[in-house]
Amino acid sequence: MSIGHPQLIEAIASEIAASGPIPFARFMELALYNPQFGYYTRPPESGTERIGWSGDFYTSSDVHPILGQALAKQARQLDQLLGHPDPFTVVEMGPGKGLLAKHFLSACRSREQDSFSQRLRYVLIERSPAMRALQQANLLHGLVEPGRITWVESLESLGADSVVGLFFSNELPDAFPVHRIQVDQGQIRELYVDYDGTRFIERLQPPSSPDLQDYLTRLNLSLPDGYQTEINLDAVRWMAQVARAIDRGLAITIDYGHTAQDLYGPDRAKGTLLCYYSQMTNEEPYVRVGQQDMTAHVDFSTLATVGEDHGLHVTGFTNQMSFLMGLGVEEMIAHMDPEGPEFRAAIHLLRPEGMGRTFKVLIQHKGIAAPTLDGLTFKPFFGTALAVQSAA
């Protein structure tokens, strides 16, 4: 089996030759986002795609437009709560192929040109030029007036307190590079990646940053010896930047993940890092490097805590099934033939043993009083689950 894209392997190997073994997070950063050869940054070979039914994995928006439609409904409710600001800004980060944006914008247009769609401004934040090109191909076809849709490369391009409206992402922080650690005699050690001339090799070394221990300390976690897991420091920085950018409005984060208690509990003692290739998962990050996706489950407790520290308060935490039900999915699917493929696709997103419960929805607010949101009508089993446990 190939160890990966030849020029990417060369680039990673030469960085290791120059600096010594690199933290796994750096390896993952290069594998996914090396500017020329990374999995997300390299234009797909002709006739192939990364995300989609013929790609390596699919997301909710490949299945059915109801998630985009539900987000549009939630945005309209927020618009009302904010007093119909002009512009009402929607920022979507990590938009993949742009399908969710397409569904969102189509849902906004499907009513007559009302005041909301005229005040709507849509900003897509995408770090990969190849993904940006795909999004533009999918979106610049009269869905929205030219000038009302824009792209930026990073969240830093948005000014502090510049967004009045909605910030959202689907499957974004799971795609951030993660540090991998192992507990050894009560101390954390970090997994580094070395190269022996033919393949990548793991080495355990002292942590590359004190932020790794601080992360666990903030969660009040003490992990047993031998425990292996991931720490997503980029998600911490990201949440702080999201909070900074919002003046008044909501942040909605949809992704697979858990509360810290579950993510760092005994059931996941080997971590959650997974690779996706051709709709199959594997646990081999050192093969097909740059040719397969890599991802780790999201720690929603940390997103909640970091948000709170920056004035972005938890409105609620639910799952995709409950979010869609609160926003009227039953009405949306009522006209579909229960035996037909469209109905089956929509139900796929709701399935309690599948995407309906695997995907969680964290909603946070800033600059407004805690709102009562349709998307949070059903909060099945979470309660105060996101709260960090205090020391015994």
Smallest separation (angstroms) from ligand SAM to the CB of 214 = 22
Would you say 79 or 126 has its CB closer to ligand SAM? 126
CA 366 to chain centre: 20
Would you say 21 or 356 has its CB closer to ligand SAM? 356
Smallest separation (angstroms) from ligand SAM to the CB of 186 = 34
Q: What residue type is 370 in one-letter code?
A: A
Would you say 4 or 177 has its CB closer to ligand SAM? 177
Would you say 176 or 195 has its CB closer to ligand SAM? 176
Would you say 62 or 202 has its CB closer to ligand SAM? 62
Smallest separation (angstroms) from ligand SAM to the CB of 171 = 4
Smallest separation (angstroms) from ligand SAM to the CB of 157 = 10
Smallest separation (angstroms) from ligand SAM to the CB of 41 = 7
Q: Which residues bind ligand SAM (CB under 6 A)?
A: 40, 51, 59, 61, 93-96, 99-100, 125-128, 131, 154, 170-172, 175
Would you say 190 or 255 has its CB closer to ligand SAM? 255
Would you say 28 or 216 has its CB closer to ligand SAM? 28
Smallest separation (angstroms) from ligand SAM to the CB of 97 = 6
Q: Give the integer Cα–Cα distance in Å for 166 and 362.
A: 13
Going by DSSP bridges, is the β-strand pair 293-295/274-277 parallel, antiparallel, or unpaired?
antiparallel
Would you say 26 or 189 has its CB closer to ligand SAM? 26
Smallest separation (angstroms) from ligand SAM to the CB of 95 = 5
Smallest separation (angstroms) from ligand SAM to the CB of 207 = 23
